[in-house]
Structure 1
């Protein structure tokens, strides 16, 4: 057998192995991701903050940005009639924009984002696969828990430390998240000690 035939067969074999590996990686079964335990908030002064979706969006993006200093893949949150997350996934050295929309639900003071739609470039992939790719590709803050099997993202607000002063960290929990009426109410707890 001549060396060109051997090289061609080797190349074809490598391409097939790469495709099978990629398909396996994307379609392998997903383990269920439980909701994180809700942190008991400390005693302290409670401030009820009424805010708009745009102000919540600005605060969330600042917290995501400060939590993801080591990650080179940006994640942006937009809050309008629904919550939208935008990022970029790198697949086979190609950057694909990803846009996901969610319906927000309050659960124990935290925010549960139930996935409604997903767009990954021109690809038509299932929502749970898109969340799995995002989970595997992006190093998100510890308070953002992606649950691909459940097709949702759990924002553990009670785990976040919100700066309220030079050396003072507060805690936050959601009281109301009504995007149709442009009404978001957060309870900010400033610890006594």
Structure 2
């Protein structure tokens, strides 16, 4: 009988000691290195033109793009999704004779000198039927809920993703450096233009 009492009180003592130690550690101030705040902020003039290079993959960019599209899509507009594979695919469904038909637009992406992305050489199909490019791009321009920085140019059969107009935060610009879908090498540069 006495043996279990000793074990019980021994276990109780160990638990109370552990709890006391945990509470003691919780209420201790965090150990952080001392930092000179002005030094950490840095000189604003030195920060101007600072660059951050972002490497990503098609899979990650697909997730980001389509999440953005879902958040920004206006009700009643043409819904679509974008897929980066060997080319850029824009997929949608449009009503034809009271039936939803698959609309697929493919583009070849190129990085412009300004760091924007030009989508060129489009092919457009409704189901298996090839459609005239200019007509469908006009339809997209009119009915798709596109961000202000995406410009459709039906006349020249191009779509431009104007990254230099993307507003991520005041004083920061984005530009594409590389957009090679075959090698899955996608590189962007974020530039601080703080004045």
- Length-normalised TM-score, structure 2: 0.65
Larger radius of gyration: 2
Alpha-carbon distance in 2 for matches of 1:182, 1:150: 27
Give the total of aligned pairs: 147
For residues 141-178 of structure 1, what are the alpha-carbon distances to aligned partners after superposition, in whole Å with 9 as ceiling and x for unaligned?
Answer: 11111111211111111111236xxxx78431100111
SS at match of 1:60: helix
In structure 1, runs of 5+ residues without a counterpart are: 1-42
For the aligned residue pairs, the C-alpha RMSD in angstroms reads 2.4
Alpha-carbon distance in 1 for matches of 2:128, 2:58: 29
* Cα pair 2:66 2:81 within 8 Å, conserved: yes
Alpha-carbon distance in 1 for matches of 2:167, 2:67: 13
In structure 2, runs of 5+ residues without a counterpart are: 1-47
Partner residue in 1 for 2:191: 189
2:82 pairs with one of 77, 81, 87? 77
Alpha-carbon distance in 1 for matches of 2:50, 2:98: 50
* Cα pair 1:110 1:173 within 8 Å, conserved: yes
2:69 pairs with one of 64, 67, 80? 64
User: Where do residues 58-137 of structure 1 align in structure 2 (5 Å cutoff)?
Assistant: 58-70=63-75, 72-90=77-95, 94-107=99-112, 108-137=114-143
**Higher helix content, 1 or 2:** 2
4+ residue segments displaced more than 6 Å? none
Q: 1:46 to 1:134 in 2, by over 3 A?
A: same
